[in-house]
Amino acid sequence: MPCDQIILTHCEFLPNTTDVKLLKLALEAQGFTVRETATGLSFTRGYREQGSYEKRSGKLTLPESVDGNSVKVGYSTEVVKEQASKLGWNDSWDVDEEGNPTVEISKRGW
């Protein structure tokens, strides 16, 4: 690949129902600097890695080096954390042997 070429991949989230705040947290957890815009999010990591999220269409544009599934897992993680907090549950996070996040959730007081 020529050194002046940037390849992007696309990932779809549900338009108008994706929580942009949680998506921002998921991207920040992967090392991106995220900026909210009028139409969604703009994010960068380093000099060449950049992407965007459009709220209206649900379209997430990622650098080639980023796996869309890792962003979806990160977003799901943030959703679980938020819901556990809202419901007053304890959540304990870990990583399994394959590097996947795992969680144990329990009601407080149990």
State the pTM of this model: 0.80
The per-residue pLDDT for 1 is 44
Q: Rounded to the nearest 5 degrees, what angle is found at the Cα of 35, between the Cα atoms of 79 and 31?
A: 65
List alpha helices for 1-110, DSSP H.
20-29, 68-86
Q: In the chain, what are the domain boundaries?
A: 8-107
pLDDT tens-place string over residues 5-43: 454 555 777 777 889 999 999 999 999 999 999 999 999
State the amino acid at position 25 in one-letter form: L
CA distance 40 to 52: 7
Q: Please, which residues bridge with residue 105 across strands?
A: 91
Instruction: Tell me the pLDDT tens digit for each residue of 30-84.
Output: 999 999 999 999 999 988 889 999 999 989 998 888 888 888 888 988 998 898 8
Contact at 8 Å (CB) between 26 and 71? yes
